[in-house]
Structure 1
Amino acid sequence: MPPTTDNRPALLLAMGPGIADRLLHPRHHARLTALTRTDPHLVGHDLADPPPGVAAALAEAEILLTCWGATPLTEEVLAAAPRLRAVVHAAGSVKHHLTPACWERGIAVSSAAAANALPVAEYTLAAVLFAGKRVLHSARRYRVLRQDHDWLRELDGAGNYRRTVGIVGASRVGRRVLELLRPFDWTVLLHDPYLEEAEARALGAHLTPLEALCARSDVVSVHAPQLPTTRHLIGARELAAMPDGATLVNTSRGSLVDEAALLAELTSGRLSAVLDVTDPELPPRDSPLYDLPNVLLTPHVAGSHGTELYRMADHALDEVERLVHGEPFAEPVHAADLTRLA
């Protein structure tokens, strides 16, 4: 009998050391091997100078399944992958490893940015609600007092009923935050230069100029992409416009906020902040951000971690399955979009 033809496309995992072990559950291994010709335990950490086994797999690969730490796909790397036709990225931004050579060759690209947006939006929702309830303040005071106290008087004016939240950027995360805010009794303002008023209304928000948004919001949450045009988008003027006692939430990138101007407002005690990102990403050891009582500082944990990585893997494998069945990606990335994507 003639040998059976295996029409499954060849796939190679390409990501940083240790990432695949955290990203892929055994059920993902089983699904990958059912859909494609792959060794789920073979991972290309360095496609620019791969060991023989990875080089052989790269030469046959029609699909790369990438994640954090993936090698930039330069002309030289692509020359070693003559059959490559698609890159499925099991994380958010593709800017770190996709090069102009990929678009010139017409390689199809998908990203799990939408899947990664959900935990960031969930973190943001918690930050917004905790800010309204003044949780950071009351927790710190409770720890100090350790006795009966007139909390009704001290927290007079706190709460989440009919407050105003300003969302800066209708990105994937920003839109997820808007969606999660809908059940609550908040007035929602939105600033995004690419949006029309009708689109903002459809998202449940009022389109508002940035400085006016800051001036009217009890909580301002930043969700714009990191681009040259968004550096210090929230600067001294925007921070000064925020009402006394307002909170800034940043889960986007630290460079979007003028940190020197923010520190001046925080050390005065006029504003509070929830910062999952800073500029630089790791603040200096002597940064006041670590100790200020009105700052909740976390080490870039709003995005996918732990079991949430499996959501991105599920999304990526859904895209691989669409490709196998000749269907278009649900979340394609196009070169024309890169100028306004994170």
Structure 2
Amino acid sequence: MLGEKKWREHLNPQAYIERELARMNEHLARQVGLVNAKLAEVATVATANTLEHERAKILEKQLATSKKTQQQTAAALEQTKQELAAKIAALQKQEKLYAQVVVRTAQGEALSPALRQWATRAQEQSRQKATTVIEQTLRGPVTELKQVYTALQQNGYALQELATGQVLVRGQQSQALFALDSLQPNGYPLAEQLQQAITRTQREQEQARKHALAQDPRAAHVRLLAADTEQAHYFACALEQAGANVWQVQRLPDHQLEVRVSYCFDWHTIEAISQTLTQGRRTPGIVVEEDRANQTARYTALRTLERERTREQQPEQGHGFSL
């Protein structure tokens, strides 16, 4: 007789099939898991091998770079050694020559033509360097001769003032000695060049001061246009004398001269400034441009001053008694 389980499978073969399929699936799943684990192990080993290979390539590249750097350093060191040896040889030659010059000079012997030529060349080079230093100094802001002295000292020169007032310059490296006033920066005497530089500096500083005053937020501005140069110069000077700030004079493309003026309200100067501007308005060929509010303020100030003067000029009226 069939067992109970076999009997049920005989009566229901579908259940048997499903059970067998489940068993086979379970078996296959275990096999797939084993295969995947093996593949993961193989992948890990392969990755490790790849990393080691890449690391080896990097180390090999670094080693090649280090060798190249070492070779370059060795070549540079060898070149430096050669240059140093050449400089030492030249220095020894110069020391020998210097010793010979000292001894021969002490003995009262004349220098050889070659040495005289060398000394002349060294002195001229020192003079030229000093001249260049002075030229560079004079191109900047200069207010006194002391700035020239300082520039020379900062560039390897010593200065000595004699009892006569003459200043001698000595190059510290070459020991070349020459008079300061013998130098001609830009091809002209030093005194002349120095005065021009001082004048230019004063003019630039004055112009900077005028521009700063024109930027004052309290300042009122006036623009004058003149076709004639003399007229423009006259009114610019008159406004300066009145107390205004003439901060720019320039020629426009239409050949007119433009005079830009600024002023801050001051009871001591407003009347003279106003009178000059009024004169300009009444002069043919002169155009005065001014903000209406500033013009009104000037006129109001003038009327106030006029009333004050009138009040001061009136005699005091006393109270009399009649009999």
TMscore range, shorter length: under 0.3
Which structure ranks higher in relative contact order (CA pairs < 8 Å, sequence separation ≥ 6)? 1
Higher helix share: 2
